[in-house]
């Protein structure tokens, strides 16, 4: 579709449909993401002519930067610092372990070559806890827990795509293990530095003017500009945008007499996040076809089990070892269950699958497996998120109460 007017009309129709479905989901107390994906899946099955050709550039360049920046801006460094160690552990070694577990299980039980199996594992390594975060937004849950779940997902969005790029490169042209490790660490490190610089420069520019329109425009430039700059030089644009959002939000909130500015920036990004989140999950549903799910059903089932097993390993093993060594849990009792169940997959996995080169070995099969894992985890884990969160926090002796929140959680996002 190259007609600009047709593109605008399609975008408006998509946003309108996503808004209606999201409103309906809230009336029946369902996570928005679950109903949006199901409606998209049903629409694509009943009306094949509505099936949308979704490009990785659309997801990665339009949707993801805005979504991760909106969530990152609301995270203050003072809240992130106490949970930084588990966030980094889950977002870096946890991503690698998850990818390896999926690869070995698919290779062992389904016979998929280990290189291709690792591509699937890397594509689905990043979590997207949007349904869990949406549930926590309705409940008075501890700030540290919300920050832990969101912080992990935001960081592993970036590290997961770096791992995926290395996995694709290994299959296409080969890469030495040591070289891959160096590339992974250096890409993550430099992307973080770019994000810090971008966030601080943006904060300085916003605080240097009193023109509110200019200030809000600067936040848009930082969100998308940081992503494009990092991506253009081969770094992780998502990771750079996440760090820029955290840095920008923290500095603006700490500036004297800037409370109104912070509220207006958050209000702008709340609206942007709602529009992007609603439409991207509807698009996920349109991108997945029922015949593809049926064709790869056995591999999808095996891959989903591997995803859950890998998530359990990286969440519960450190908690158990900490309790055995020091007589206490690494996380408060009950929190680990919320972190474990927040490991559903979403838009990052979708974008990774779509970005596979057209001549990549078994491309269609790999996409079918990844799409299926995204759908199953979103529906099953996302649909049961309210029950898991309530019961887990009750086990932690901190039963949630519906009502006003202690402070504003970040906007939901896909990763």
Burial 246-276 (b: 16+ CB within 10 A, else e): bbbbbbbbeeeebeebbeebbebbeebbbbb
Please tell me the distance from the alpha carbon of residue 374 to that of residue 387, in angstroms, as a whole number: 20
* pLDDT value at 54 more than 70: no
The per-residue pLDDT for 245 is 95
Q: What is the pLDDT of residues 81-111, one digit of tens each?
A: 988 988 998 888 999 999 999 999 999 988 8
Instruction: Supply the pTM of this predicted model.
Output: 0.84
The per-residue pLDDT for 328 is 61
Angstrom CA distances, 134 to 79, 149, 240, 357, 375, stand at 19, 11, 24, 34, 18
The per-residue pLDDT for 52 is 60
Of residues 58 and 35, which shows the higher confidence score?
35
Mean pLDDT is lowest, of 38-47, 189-198, 403-412, for 403-412
The per-residue pLDDT for 259 is 65
Of residues 311 and 329, which shows the higher confidence score?
311
Q: What is the mean pLDDT of residues 235-258?
A: 87
* pLDDT value at 397 more than 70: no
Mean pLDDT is lowest, of 32-36, 132-136, 355-359, for 132-136
The DSSP line for 313-347 is HHHHHHHHHHHHHHSS-SS-TTHHHHHHHT----H
Q: What is the pLDDT of residues 152-186, one digit of tens each?
A: 988 988 899 899 999 998 898 877 778 888 889 99
* pLDDT value at 336 more than 50: yes
Q: Please report how many Cα atoms fall inside a 13 Å half-sphere around the Cα of residue 213, on the Cβ side.
A: 0
Of residues 21 and 219, which shows the higher confidence score?
219
* pLDDT value at 79 more than 80: yes
The per-residue pLDDT for 49 is 62
% of the chain exceeding 70 in pLDDT = 87
* pLDDT value at 60 more than 60: yes
Across the chain, mean pLDDT equals: 84
Please tell me the distance from the alpha carbon of residue 40 to that of residue 240, in angstroms, as a whole number: 31
The per-residue pLDDT for 406 is 37
**Please, what sign has the CA dihedral across residues 346, 284, 378, 109?**
negative
Mean pLDDT is lowest, of 39-48, 178-187, 223-232, 310-319, for 39-48
* pLDDT value at 230 more than 90: yes
Q: What is the mean pLDDT of residues 314-321?
A: 84
């Amino acid at each position: 579709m190259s007609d600009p007017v047709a593109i605008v009309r399609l975008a408006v129709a998509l946003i309108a449909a996503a808004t209606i479905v999201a409103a309906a989901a809230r009336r029946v107390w369902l996570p928005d993401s679950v109903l949006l994906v199901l409606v998209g899946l049903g629409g694509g099955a009943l009306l094949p002519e509505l099936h949308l050709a979704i490009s990785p550039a659309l997801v990665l360049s339009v949707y993801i930067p805005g979504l991760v920046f909106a969530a990152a801006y609301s995270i203050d460094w003072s809240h992130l610092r106490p949970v930084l160690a588990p966030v980094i552990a889950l977002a870096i070694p946890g991503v690698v372990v998850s990818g390896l577990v999926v690869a070995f299980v698919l290779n062992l039980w389904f016979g998929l070559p280990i290189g291709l199996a690792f591509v699937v594992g890397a594509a689905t390594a990043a979590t997207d806890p949007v349904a869990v975060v949406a549930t926590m937004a309705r409940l008075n849950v501890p700030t540290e827990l919300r920050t832990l779940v969101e912080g992990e997902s935001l960081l592993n969005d970036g590290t997961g795509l770096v791992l995926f790029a290395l996995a694709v490169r290994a299959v296409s042209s080969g890469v030495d293990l040591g070289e891959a490790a160096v590339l992974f660490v250096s890409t993550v490190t430099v992307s973080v530095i770019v994000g810090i610089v971008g966030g601080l420069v943006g904060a300085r520019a916003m605080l240097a003017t009193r023109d509110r329109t200019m200030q809000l425009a600067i936040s848009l430039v930082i969100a998308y500009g940081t992503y494009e700059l990092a991506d253009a030089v081969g770094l992780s644009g998502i990771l750079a945008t996440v760090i820029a959002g955290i840095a920008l939000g923290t500095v603006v909130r700490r500036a004297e007499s800037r409370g109104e500015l912070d509220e207006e920036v958050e209000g702008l990004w709340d609206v942007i996040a709602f529009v992007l989140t609603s439409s991207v999950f509807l698009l996920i549903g349109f991108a997945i076809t029922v015949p593809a799910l049926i064709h790869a059903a056995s591999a999808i089932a095996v891959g989903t089990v591997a995803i859950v097993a890998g998530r359990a390993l990286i969440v519960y093993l450190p908690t158990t070892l900490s309790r055995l060594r020091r007589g206490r849990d690494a996380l408060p009792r009950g929190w680990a269950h919320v972190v474990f169940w927040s490991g559903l997959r979403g838009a990052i996995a979708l974008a990774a699958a779509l970005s596979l080169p057209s001549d990549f070995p078994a491309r269609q099969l790999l996409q079918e497996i990844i799409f299926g894992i995204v759908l199953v985890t979103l529906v099953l884990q996302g649909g049961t998120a309210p029950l898991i969160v309530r019961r887990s926090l009750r086990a932690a002796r901190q039963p949630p109460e519906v009502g006003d929140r202690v402070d504003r959680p970040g906007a939901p996002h896909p990763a």
